[in-house]
Every structure is written in structure tokens, then in C-alpha cells.
């Protein structure tokens, strides 16, 4: 995800009510050592490594927290998205966005998990956007950001997702601050490790999530459950292709479970920036990355045809 304007629509995550549901066997709570390596394994078949993000289909998804719903298009609940992806793309992994959950109530999350099971689909990551910043100069705001991220860790457990991508939001009263971000994310990651949920940071916002700032945060926190989510094209919004590929290479050195595949990205003014998929996949493969590749078409136009093309190209490059 790259467009900064969409961040204006951040919504504060609801607090989960009641108890949580049992996780799947591979997401069992880690009780012995919260700093042990994540208890996760990944498929090896190229097509089985493909996921489809709900973000490109935001205009179609019904949710009170989704500001991008287009009423001129047919709608669907996020719980329907899994079977929709299977029927349209023959893909069995999805990456739901936090704005697309109609509710965080246990009953809704249970129905969502049941829909995944019926479709034989896995949620491989939750892309989480939050309002409060991990580096806000106000500690109470930082505490809210940490609490929100922990809530989404619990949501991940309840739907069987092995990871979340948490957003480092901008703060109105501070430029990006490494010590405060590290302190906040250490608290989030320690909590997530107890649930065997990986926390990912994306090179998304060019200010608060500059790829090299993200790498500094990950290296400073130094926790096996905190990793990078490399996005192929977000750093191209600088207008500097060389910077984009340096950023992507740096992110892949810390990637573990999820990356975002796209061949283009539009900026706030609608200018389209393109990236080289072949070069991007070369960086992926040279890093030894073995996780999922989530299709995240994010350019003007309908997302279906472009997502089909991205899937076909990704399978070819991964083969």
C-alpha cells in the first residue's frame, strides 16, 4: 500500500469483546520462550505461495470502517472474499485489510473463520492500519497504538492468520523517532510472540515508513517475531528507481512471511510509477525469501484483470 492520502481515513480499531477463539494447530500459543523462532512453515509450490490482498478490491467490500466503498459497484462482505478469490483466481490464500472487517465481535470473527474453512482458504496476514503513532511524543497516544496492535494480534489468532502487518502512522507532534518506535514495537512483538503471531513492518508511507527507517527499527528491536514486509513499488514514489531497488533489497534481508507484489503505484496526484517485476523477483530470490507473495494491484482501473496478470507473472518468476 503506498498512497498517502488513504491514510487520512484511518479508523481506530474496536476492542475485542469476550474471550478469543482457539487458534489453529500451527498458531498455538507459545508458552516456553517468547523469543524462539516463529512456529510457522510455508508451502513450496509457486502457486501455493500466492495470496490475494483485499485492499485492491476495497471499492467492493462492505464495512463501516471502509472509506473506499463504491456504491456503484456490487458489494460483498469480507467473509465472502475468500470464496470470491477462489472462484476468480483459483488462489487459496488471502490477506484481509483491517478496514474491511465489518466487526471485531467474536461472533463475526467466528463466522469469518468458518467462511475460510468452507472455502479451504487461509488468511496469511492481516494488513492493519491504525490511527495512533508508535513514535508520538505523547506516551498516551503511543500506548493506544500498542493496544490497537495487540488487539489485531488477537484477531489474527482468532482467524488463524500467522501474521499481521502493523502500520507506523505519522505523528502530528513528532518526526519519526527511532527510540520511541522501538519501545512501542518491542511491547507489541513480545505480546505477539506469546501468541505465535509474526509482526511485519512495510515500506509504505515515505515519511513514517521509509524502508531504511523500518530496517533500523527491526534491527534495534532485534526480535525473531518482528520482520519486514517488502512492497515492490511503494518506494518508487520517490521518483528514484535506484532508491526503490535498494530499499527493496534492504527490506528482503529482514523479510520472513509476506511481501506485496505489484508492478505500479500511483501517487497522490495520480502519476503512475512502474517497477521492474523481473528485477524485483531477482531481489526476492537472492535474499532466500520463502514466504507468501500477496498480490496488491494498486493503480487506476479495475483490479481483476491486473490481478490475474500479476498472479501469472508471479508464478512464472517463482518457478
Q: Can you give the pLDDT at residue 268? A: 83
Condensed to tens digits (0 to 9), the pLDDT of residues 209-225 reads 999 999 999 999 999 99
Q: Kindly list the domain boundaries of the chain, sorted by start residue.
A: 5-22+45-318
Q: How confident is the model at residue 309 (pLDDT cuts 50, 70, 90)?
A: very high
Condensed to tens digits (0 to 9), the pLDDT of residues 224-269 reads 999 999 999 999 999 999 999 999 999 999 999 999 999 999 888 8
Instruction: Give the contacts of 107 (CB within 8 A, at least 6 positions apart).
Output: none
pTM of structure: 0.89
Residue with cell 507532534: 173
Q: Going by CATH, does the domain composed of 5-22+45-318 fall within 3.40.190.10?
A: no
Q: Can you give the pLDDT at residue 36? A: 81
Q: Can you give the pLDDT at residue 39? A: 85
Alpha carbon 60 to its chain centroid, in Å, reads 19
- Which one is predicted more confidently, 17 or 151? 151
Amino acid at each position: 500500500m503506498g498512497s498517502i492520502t488513504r491514510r487520512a481515513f484511518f479508523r481506530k480499531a474496536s476492542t475485542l469483546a469476550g474471550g478469543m477463539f482457539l487458534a489453529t494447530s500451527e498458531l498455538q500459543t507459545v508458552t516456553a520462550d517468547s523469543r524462539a523462532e516463529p512456529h510457522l512453515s510455508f508451502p513450496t509450490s509457486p502457486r501455493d505461495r500466492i495470496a490475494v490482498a483485499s485492499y485492491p478490491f476495497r471499492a467492493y467490500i462492505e464495512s463501516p470502517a471502509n472509506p473506499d466503498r463504491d456504491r456503484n459497484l456490487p458489494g460483498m462482505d469480507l467473509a465472502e472474499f475468500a470464496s470470491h478469490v477462489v472462484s476468480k483466481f483459483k488462489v487459496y490464500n488471502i490477506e484481509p485489510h483491517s478496514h474491511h472487517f465489518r466487526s471485531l465481535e467474536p461472533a463475526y470473527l467466528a463466522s469469518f473463520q468458518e467462511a475460510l474453512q468452507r472455502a479451504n482458504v487461509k488468511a496469511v496476514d492481516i494488513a492493519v492500519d491504525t490511527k495512533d503513532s508508535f513514535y508520538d511524543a505523547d506516551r498516551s497516544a503511543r500506548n493506544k497504538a500498542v493496544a490497537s496492535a495487540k488487539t489485531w494480534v488477537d484477531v489474527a489468532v482468532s482467524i488463524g492468520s500467522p501474521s499481521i502487518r502493523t502500520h507506523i502512522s505519522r505523528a502530528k507532534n513528532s518526526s519519526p523517532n527511532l527510540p520511541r518506535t522501538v519501545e512501542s514495537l518491542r511491547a507489541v512483538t513480545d505480546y505477539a510472540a506469546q501468541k505465535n503471531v509474526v509482526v511485519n513492518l512495510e515500506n509504505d508511507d515515505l515519511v513514517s515508513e521509509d524502508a531504511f527507517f523500518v530496517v533500523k527499527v527491526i534491527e534495534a528491536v532485534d526480535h525473531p517475531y518482528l520482520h519486514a514486509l517488502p512492497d515492490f513499488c511503494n518506494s518508487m514514489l520517490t521518483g528514484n528507481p535506484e532508491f526503490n531497488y535498494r530499499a527493496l533489497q534492504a527490506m528482503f534481508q529482514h523479510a520472513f512471511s509476506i511481501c506485496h507484489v505489484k508492478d505500479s503505484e500511483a501517487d497522490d496526484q495520480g502519476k503512475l510509477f512502474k517497477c521492474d517485476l523481473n528485477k524485483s523477483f531477482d531481489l526476492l530470490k537472492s535474499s532466500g525469501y520463502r514466504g507468501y507473495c500477496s498480490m496488491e494491484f494498486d493503480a487506476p482501473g479495475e483490479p481483476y484483470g491486473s490481478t490475474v496478470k500479476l498472479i501469472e507473472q508471479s508464478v512464472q518468476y517463482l518457478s
